[in-house]
Copies of this chain bind each other. A is one copy, B any other.
Amino acid sequence: MAKSPKISASHEPGGLIVHISGLLPSLSPAEQRVARLVVADPADAARRTITDLATAAETSEATVIRFCRSVGMDGYPQLRIRLAAEAARRVEPPDARVVGGDIPPGADLAQIIATIAFNDARAVEETAEQLDPAVCEQVVDAIVGAGRIDIYGAGASGFVASDFQQKLHRIGRTAFYFPDVHTALTSAALLGRGDVAIGISHTGTTSDVVEVLEQARARGATTVVLTNFPRSPVTEVADHVLTTAARETTYRSGATASRLAQLTVVDCLFVGVAARNRPRARKALEATAEAVRSHRIGSGRRRA
């Protein structure tokens, strides 16, 4: 009953391929042919059926099975999935993505997508890393205790401001968003101690936002700003400064990365506020979700 060696490959966390090529010389000729195919292109081998692989190696299925056993596998299917896993792992992302740089003129869409996504994801991650939880906490405190929350933002930041307003509203906080300076100033004039004014400005230089926060602060409201530039003019009129970390300098991509970063911060604040009063917030969310249900098609799953 003296059978094949069967070198344990189960303790081969990283290198099945290495393992195989290591004991390649100890294999029989026919098995070596199989081994060489496998080592040459693991991913391809994983795709083949045993018969297919046997044919490619100019041998029989039996030999392939023997090969499997020789390298420590139970059988062909096991080898197959191990190979697939192995092959997948060694797909390095060495592709030098342009970090924060411009899209090269000749780029095709696949490249464009990769570059944009990379930068966008990066902006979100880096923003989170540099966000000061202590400041967030203070802002959350202010919002939770506020009688009223006014939110301002012009242009692209206006979307974010509006989003924030909608979120707070959905969990029952009294929040307003003003798209234009005049109504914003009017509203700010009516703020008082205990109220909160939040300004959003990517550059931190939007005069409208500065003016409104100034007004709000003069009335005794707590002022908060969300900007990418921690020393911009707007930070001078803010009690609390929250910053995003988008590197994007050009308007090339319409400042989407900074928008995403802003939305992420807003989301953090929102969840922070909601977490303060979980049951009530949950109930409010459910109620609002219910309200739009009639505009949905089908209650369960969709289509066939």
Contact A113 B85 (CB under 8 A): no
**Cβ of A247 to closest chain B Cβ, rounded Å:** 15
Per the 8 Å Cβ criterion, residues 262-286 of A in contact with B are 263-264, 266-268, 270-272, 274-275, 278, 285
- Within 8 Å of chain B (Cβ to Cβ): is A105? yes
Cβ–Cβ contact B103 & A207, under 8 A: no
Cβ–Cβ contact B25 & A301, under 8 A: yes
In contact, B109 and A133 (Cβ under 8 angstroms): yes
CA gap between A129 and B118 in the complex, in Å? 10
Minimal beta-carbon separation of A138 from chain B (angstroms): 10
Say yes or no: A154-B203 contact (C-beta < 8 A), given A89-B91, A254-B167, A303-B231: no
Q: Is the CB of B205 within 8 A of A81?
A: no
Q: Does A150 count as interface, using CB distance less than 8 angstroms?
A: no
- A137 contacts the other chain (CB 8 A): yes
Q: Is A65 an interface residue (CB 8 A)?
A: no
How many chain A residues sit at the interface, stated as a range, is 35 or more
CB neighbours (8 Å) of A80 from chain B are 77, 80-81
Q: Which residues A225-249 have CB closer than 8 A to chain B?
A: 229, 231-233, 236
User: How distant is the Cα of A27 from the Cα of B266 in the complex, in angstroms?
Assistant: 34
Give the distance in Å from the alpha carbon of A137 to the alpha carbon of B108 in the complex. 9
Q: Is the CB of B89 within 8 A of A296?
A: no
Contact B113 A208 (CB under 8 A): no
A116 touches B264 (CB 8 A): yes
The interface residues of chain B lying within 8 Å CB-to-CB of A109 are: 133, 136-137, 140, 268, 272
Residues of B within 8 Å of A121, CB to CB, are 121-122, 124-125
A37 to chain B, nearest CB (A): 16
Q: Does chain B have a CB within 8 A of A51?
A: no
The interface residues of chain B lying within 8 Å CB-to-CB of A191 are none
* Among B118, B136, B304, contact of A113 (Cβ-Cβ < 8 Å): B136
With both beta carbons as reference points, the residue of chain B lying nearest to A230 in the complex is identified as B303
Known: A154-B295, A167-B254. A301 touches B116 (CB 8 A): no
* Listed A/B pairs (26) with beta-carbon separation below 8 Å: A29-B301, A32-B301, A46-B81, A46-B85, A81-B84, A85-B88, A103-B271, A108-B133, A109-B140, A112-B272, A117-B268, A121-B121, A121-B122, A121-B124, A121-B125, A124-B124, A159-B162, A163-B259, A203-B302, A204-B302, A251-B289, A253-B270, A253-B271, A256-B264, A260-B264, A263-B263
Binding site for B on A (CB under 8 A): 25-29, 32, 43, 46-47, 49, 77, 80-82, 84-89, 91, 103, 105, 107-110, 112-114, 116-118, 120-122, 124-125, 127-129, 131, 133, 136-137, 140, 154-156, 159, 162-163, 166-167, 170, 203-208, 210, 229, 231-233, 236, 251-254, 256, 259-260, 263-264, 266-268, 270-272, 274-275, 278, 285, 289, 292, 295-298, 301-304
